[in-house]
Copies of this chain bind each other. A is one copy, B any other.
Amino acid sequence: MSIERVREFLDSGKPGFMKLMGFRLGDYSADKVEGFVEVRPDLSNRGGVMHGGAIMAMADTLGGAGTIANLPEGARTVTIESKTNFFAAIPVGDTARGEATPLHRGRTTMVWQTKITRSDGRLAALVTQTQLVIEPKV
Contacts and interface: CB of A to CB of B under 8 A. Distances in A.
Interface of A: 6, 9, 15-20, 41-47, 51-54, 56-61, 64, 76, 78-87, 89, 103-104, 106, 108-109, 111, 123, 126, 128, 130, 132
A61 B57 contact: no
A104 B123 contact: yes
Contact of A51 (B52, B60, B132): B60
**Interface of chain A, helix or strand or loop or mixed?**
mixed
20 contacts: A9-B46, A15-B44, A16-B41, A18-B51, A47-B78, A52-B56, A53-B53, A53-B54, A53-B56, A53-B59, A54-B57, A56-B57, A56-B82, A57-B57, A80-B130, A81-B81, A81-B86, A104-B123, A108-B132, A130-B130
Contacts of A47: 76, 78
A110 to B, nearest CB: 11
A45 B20 contact: no
Given A16-B46, A45-B61, A103-B126, 8 more contacts: A16-B41, A16-B44, A17-B42, A17-B45, A52-B82, A53-B53, A85-B111, A103-B123
